[in-house]
Copies of this chain bind each other. A is one copy, B any other.
Amino acid sequence: MSENLSQLKSRMAKIARLGEAAALLEWDLQTYMPPGAVAARAEQSATLGEFVHELFTAEEIGALLAKSEADTAGTDADSDDARLLRALRRDYDRAIKLPADLVAEFARHTALAQDIWQRARAASDFAAFAPALEKMLDLTRRQAEALGYKDHIYEALLDIYEPGARQADVAAMFAEMKPALISLTQAIAASAHPVDDRLLHGDFPIEKQKALTLRAVQAIGYDLQRGRQDEAPHPFCTSFSRDDVRITTRFDPKFLSQALYASMHEAGHGLYEQGFPPEYEATPLGHAASLGIHESQSRLWENLVGRSRAFSTFLFPLLQETFPDAFAHVAPEAYYRAINKVAPSFIRVEADEVTYNLHILLRFELECDLLTGKLAVSDLPAAWNAKMQAYLGITPPNDAEGVLQDVHWSGGLIGYFPTYSIGNLVSGQLWHAIGQALPERDAQVARGEFAPLLGWLRENVHRYGRKYLPAELIQKATGEPLTSRYYMDYLTAKYRDIYQL
């Protein structure tokens, strides 16, 4: 390794460790922090964030990066070092392209806008949020212009979360899925064999749910020596090293699915991060390839595994043992059907597998139109409701359950939503490849043997961390570019069976 690269890595490691400390501040904020500490925590996070930014955008980093690139020019382009420099170049260029005053204004407005949004949502008053959203769109456009793009302003934003993804590709893929998703949703609604999910509602004491979710996530391979589960108002996964990957969940004592499948989802994220190679620790490669790839892991474990007939077979004895009153006289098939009930609903985070992607398509379309000026902010609630009616056949009774439901737009995260659907598509494509590689997969899952499945993901996804761009990783792992085909095939087959279509 050249002396320049060695120095660069050493600096990056220090910056990474500071970033890990910042992540702990955030985890603590969401889990254990006393309520009175909000203002102090904001100062701590802002200060650490400023230092990390200042250290990372220092001219010395740029110089070391350029010299390291020169030193490694002509060497194996697929080596870890070459890939690390490529990833770092992307990060560094993006960081220095953004003017400091724009970054500061963005941060200030985000704090303000989130507060305004919370109150607007509580009052279901879109007009109260509209000026803040208008300004957020302006700042986001300025951000996109500073970052640069080739074909569409959306590209610059999407690229932050899903490196290399192009707006036109995503738009085409989504447009292709849309009619199939709408007609599947409609067919399910008209089915003569509706799903009854009442058995998931009842008395499920939280302590017992905790024990059950821990058994489930440990069974699939989530390592509690290098992780833990806590409670938080909104479930998430975070990490401060591959050896400290934490998940959170939320328990509803009256509804079993809430915590159980949220835990499977977060454990899916957690398995990914616990699977990064130790040599990537505290380097630019010791991260997820993208948010979409991250989401593919969570959705794979939550849905393609967790909500499968095979997993339900494995889980059922544990369920009966934990909640004998509720499940002693229930057939496993009834449970499997209950956890896969499909019904159009207003809130994205509560949506089932089939309708979920329609929620995302709607947001993606609206974001594109808002950014390009095709849609005015004042017309947004009507546009939202019209799309909800067209795609899902329902109209939100108010803006709180409609256009104001998500934190993303007030949080400055415009361009983020598509990664959720990309994650679903990737999960389907990986699932298909796994089925080819492991013909016994479903039988193994039903027996609680998750090692082959996890092993495949470790080998084909996790161990690469951020070495490859998402498109490269998908090609490498599945032998073809990203397509919606496998995910749509999966959905169609699964729900035709359940709803006897």
| A residues with CB within 8 A of B | 13-14, 17-18, 20-22, 24-25, 28, 32-37, 39-41, 43-44, 46-48, 50-51, 223-228, 230, 240-241, 243-244, 246, 281-282
Most central of A22, A35, A47 by chain B CB within 10 Å? A47
The reply to whether A225 and B21 form a contact with Cβ atoms under 8 Å apart is: no
Q: A28-B28, A37-B244 are in contact. Are A17 and B47 (CB under 8 A)?
A: yes
Complex Cα–Cα for A25 and B43 (A): 16
In the complex, chain B residues whose CB is within 8 Å of the CB of A25: 21, 24
A-B contact pairs, 28 of them (CB 8 A): A13-B47, A14-B47, A14-B51, A17-B46, A17-B47, A18-B47, A18-B48, A18-B51, A20-B40, A21-B21, A21-B25, A21-B47, A21-B48, A24-B24, A24-B25, A24-B28, A24-B44, A28-B28, A32-B230, A34-B225, A34-B244, A34-B246, A35-B225, A36-B226, A36-B244, A37-B240, A39-B243, A40-B282
The reply to whether B228 and A36 form a contact with Cβ atoms under 8 Å apart is: no
In the complex, chain B residues whose CB is within 8 Å of the CB of A246: 34
The reply to whether B241 and A40 form a contact with Cβ atoms under 8 Å apart is: yes
Complex Cα–Cα for A21 and B19 (A): 11
In the complex, chain B residues whose CB is within 8 Å of the CB of A39: 243
Complex Cα–Cα for A181 and B442 (A): 74
Most central of A24, A39, A227 by chain B CB within 10 Å? A24
In the complex, chain B residues whose CB is within 8 Å of the CB of A47: 13-14, 17-18, 21
In the complex, chain B residues whose CB is within 8 Å of the CB of A32: 32, 228, 230
The reply to whether A228 and B281 form a contact with Cβ atoms under 8 Å apart is: no
The reply to whether B244 and A33 form a contact with Cβ atoms under 8 Å apart is: yes
In the complex, chain B residues whose CB is within 8 Å of the CB of A22: 21
Please give me the residue from chain B that is nearest to A15 by CB atom: B47
In the complex, chain B residues whose CB is within 8 Å of the CB of A224: 34
Complex Cα–Cα for A458 and B486 (A): 67
The reply to whether A243 and B44 form a contact with Cβ atoms under 8 Å apart is: no
